[in-house]
């Protein structure tokens, strides 16, 4: 069987870190990118085979694209790219909202385009993006975050439609996590369904293996998502969140 290769962007902690461990156990050779290169170096020591690591600041799209292009060229024949990097700010200032958009929207598009162009030349591939159940509706406590995650889901849907229309053998998977026990929600209290990053990584791997178009993590968020989307606006805006 040919060697499997994947790149995870945003692999220094949380979901990205645990997904790296999961894919490594499954025999993948990995490329790992994040701002905190020292944490990537620590993670590399836990993986077999050893991983390629690169420092990448997703909020700087031009340099981030260059890093991904160089990593793809160095690894050669990468079949899977996971874009996990993102930030979340509650009750954000304008500056924090701008940072959220720069990272979650502009950064995501910049990297997704590199991956899709690479897979098109390769003749096949799989792009996975981490959006959120928060992207289903606009919650006032984190307006820019919700909007950015909705953008990611819509953008991936457009990439999937384009791939299908052009007959490209490129899968596009939208992962929509709920509450995952990671630094992203550190210090915040959530009432239910918080799962570990390890559990999330296992479910994400299953979605990757099955080349799903959409997966909620954990899976029990699916009916909640249906309910959120079905709520009339007059009722939604009165929710105490």
Q: Which residues are tagged catalytic? A: 145
Tell me the CB-side half-sphere exposure of residue 6, using CA atoms within 13 A.
Answer: 28
Partners of 130 in beta bridges: 175
Q: b/e string for 5-38 if b means 16 or more Cβ within 10 A? A: bbbbbbbbbbbbbbbbbbbbeeebbbbbbbeeee
Residues with Cβ within 8 Å of 201's Cβ and at least 6 positions away in sequence, in order, are 15, 18, 19, 21, 22
Count of CB atoms within 10 A of residue 103's CB?
A: 22
């Amino acid at each position: 069987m040919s060697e499997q290769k994947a790149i995870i962007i945003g692999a220094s902690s949380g979901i990205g870190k645990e997904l790296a461990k999961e894919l490594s156990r499954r025999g993948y050779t990995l490329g790992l990118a994040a701002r905190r290169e020292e944490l990537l170096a620590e993670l590399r020591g836990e993986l077999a085979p050893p991983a390629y690591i690169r420092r990448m600041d997703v909020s700087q799209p031009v340099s981030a694209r260059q890093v991904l292009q160089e990593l793809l060229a160095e690894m050669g024949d990468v079949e899977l790219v996971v874009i996990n990097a993102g930030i979340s700010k509650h009750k954000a200032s304008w500056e924090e909202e701008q940072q959220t958009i720069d990272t979650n929207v502009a950064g995501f598009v910049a990297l997704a385009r590199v991956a899709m162009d690479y897979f098109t030349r390769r003749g096949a591939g799989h792009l996975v993006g981490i959006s959120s159940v928060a992207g289903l509706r606009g919650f006032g406590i984190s307006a820019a975050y919700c909007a950015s995650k909705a953008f990611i889901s819509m953008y991936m849907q457009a990439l999937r439609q384009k791939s299908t229309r052009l007959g490209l053998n490129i899968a596009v998977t939208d992962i929509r996590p709920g509450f995952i026990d990671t630094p992203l929600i550190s210090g915040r209290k959530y009432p239910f369904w918080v799962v570990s990053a390890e559990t999330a990584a296992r479910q994400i791997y299953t979605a990757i293996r099955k080349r799903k178009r959409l997966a909620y993590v954990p899976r029990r968020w699916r009916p909640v998502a249906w309910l959120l989307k079905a709520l009339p606006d007059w009722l939604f805006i009165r929710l105490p969140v």
